[in-house]
Copies of this chain bind each other. A is one copy, B any other.
Amino acid sequence: MFEQQRHKHPVALARPRELVVACPPMRSNVNLSRIARAAGCCGVGRMICCGTARLIDKIARDAGQTLSIEVRRTLAPALERLREDGYTLVGLEQTTASKSLFEFAFPRRTALVIGNERQGIDEDTLRTLDHTVEIPVYGLPYSHNAATAAAMALYEYCRQYPAG
C-alpha cells in the first residue's frame, strides 16, 4: 500500500520565509547544529548565532548551503536591527506572560529567539521581546531540550505559513 519515497522534491515556497532564527551563546554546538538543520529544512534563510558558534557538518548537514549563518558577539544589537526591519521579536521561553505555542499566531515577519540550554533567555534580552511563547509540557523531565523546542516552534511557524 505505501511505498517509501525518500527523496521527494521539497515544497516550493511562494515567497521567501520572513523568519529569522536568533540564538544567544549556546552551550553546545551540537544543539546549534541541530537547530540549523531543522531551520534549513524549514526553508529559513537566516540564522543569527553568538559567541563561539560553529556548525558541525555531520549534524547540520547541508543546512549552511542555503541558510546564511551570521555569528555575532552578542544578540542585542542584532535584535535591535531586526526590530528596525519590521520583525516581531518572539522568544521561546516560559515567562510570567508567555502564550502557548498551540495558540500563538506568528506574525509572518518573526525573529524567533531561542534560549540557552541552561539559562534560557536572559533578562536583558527578555526586555526587548514583543512576545514569549512556551510549549506546554505534560510529564517528566518537564522541559524540552533547547533544539527540540526550537524544532517544534519552527514546525508551528511552517504550519501557519505552509507556503512562506
Contacts and interface: CB of A to CB of B under 8 A. Distances in A.
Interface of A: 1-8, 10-13, 17, 34, 37-38, 40-44, 59-63, 65-67, 91, 93-98, 100-102, 120-121, 123, 126-127, 129, 132, 134-145, 147-148, 151-152, 155-156, 158-159, 162
Helix, strand, loop or mixed for chain A's interface? loop
Contact of A94 (B5, B60, B61, B159): B5
A41 B6 contact: no
B3 A141 contact: no
Contacts of A151: 144, 148, 151-152
18 contacts: A2-B126, A4-B94, A4-B95, A4-B123, A13-B138, A37-B141, A38-B145, A40-B139, A41-B144, A42-B137, A60-B141, A61-B140, A61-B141, A62-B140, A66-B139, A66-B140, A100-B162, A135-B155
